[in-house]
Amino acid sequence: MGASKLENSKRLRYIRLLGRFISGILSYLAKSDNPTKEQYDQKVDMNFRFLEKNEAVKLYKDEYTELEALGQKILDFRASDESIETIKEELFYAQNQLEKRVNARRYKKSKHDNHARDGWE
Instruction: Output phi, psi for 2, to 5 deg.
Output: -70, 160
- The one-letter amino acid code at 104 reads A
- Closest by Cα among 44, 95, 106, 38 to 66: 95
Instruction: Name the residue ranges covered by the structural domains of the chain.
Output: 3-105
Confidence check: pLDDT of 94 > 90: yes
- Closest by Cα among 45, 57, 44 to 16: 57
Q: pTM of the full predicted structure? A: 0.79
In terms of pLDDT, which residue wins out, 29 or 116? Answer: 29
- Closest by Cα among 26, 36, 35 to 92: 26
pLDDT (0 to 100) of residue 120: 57
Q: How far apart are CA 53 and CA 90, in angstroms?
A: 27
Q: How far apart are CA 56 and CA 54, in angstroms?
A: 6
Longest distance between any two alpha carbons in the chain, whole Å: 66
Kindly report, residue by residue over 72-90, the tens digit of the pLDDT.
Answer: 999 999 889 889 999 999 9
